[in-house]
Amino acid sequence: MVRHGPTHAKGMVGWTDLPADLSDTAALARLNAHLPGVPVISSDLSRAKATADTLIARPRLAHDPDLRELHFGAWEMRSFAEIEAEAPDHIRAFWETPGDVTPPGGESWHALTARVQTALTRLSHLPEVIVVAHFGPIVAAIQLAERLTPTEAFVHRIDNLSVTCLDFGLNSRVHSVNHIA
């Protein structure tokens, strides 16, 4: 799994369709050289699609909306501090006890994880695939593969253009997290 290129946004970016900054051609060249020549699928948001487009000479699969970032609803594009000033208990519960807590008009961590599990199950017939997605779906995949709690999964750092390698299915396991090529 590859996290898309940076957006440089300062707020919570979920379903807001921001472009990726793909100007670091050296980093993209290293990423291309590091990844195997297998099919590529991405979220349907432009930052993931554009990042996937930089992975040349690989077959492309149709974009999958189930690989989108967590939907922050009314919290989209707002900072933690801004939301904390309005709803401190709600936002703290969302981040400190991830699971069923939902941003207003958004989705819970459990809903995201179920969505990602559906997408990965659809891909499980492929021996290998590159998935270009977002922080949330990558952490959710780690959670599913390692059978972690959401809180345990949240400790992982997932940088832009990093690679997380895992097996998904009956013998799920994580090989590496947040590798920068």
Boundaries of domain holding 26: 2-179
Tell me the average pLDDT across 112-134: 96
pLDDT digits (tens, 9 = 90+) for 124-160: 999 999 999 999 999 999 999 999 999 999 999 999 9
Global model pTM greater than 0.75: yes
Q: In the predicted model, what is the mean pLDDT of residues 84-108?
A: 95
Identify the band that residue 167 occupies on the pLDDT scale cut at 50, 70 and 90: very high
Pick from 145, 126, 129, 127: nearest CA to 36: 129
* Whether residue 170 has pLDDT greater than 80: no
Neighbouring C-beta atoms of residue 126, cutoff 10 Å: 11
Neighbours of 177 (CB within 10 A): 18
Local confidence band at 169 (pLDDT 50, 70, 90 cut-offs): confident
Predicted local confidence at residue 50, as pLDDT: 98
pLDDT of 128 reads 96
The mean predicted confidence, pLDDT, of the chain is: 96
Which amino acid appears at position 109 of this protein?
W
- Name the residue with tokens 């898309």: 4
Domains: count for the chain = 1
**CATH at 24:** 3.40.50.1240
Query: Does residue 68 surpass a pLDDT of 80?
Result: yes
How much is the pLDDT for 171?
85
| Predicted pLDDT of residue 134 | 98
The rounded distance, in Å, linking the Cα atoms of 97 and 152 is: 10
What secondary structure does DSSP assign to the chain, as a single string?
Answer: -EEPPP----SB-SSS-PPP----HHHHHHHHHHS-S--EEE-SSHHHHHHHHTS-SS-BPPP-GGGSPP--GGGBT--HHHHHHH-HHHHHHHHHS-SS---TTS--HHHHHHHHHHHHHHHTTSS--EEEE-HHHHHHHHHHHHT--HHHHTT----TT-EEEEE-STT-EEEEEEE--
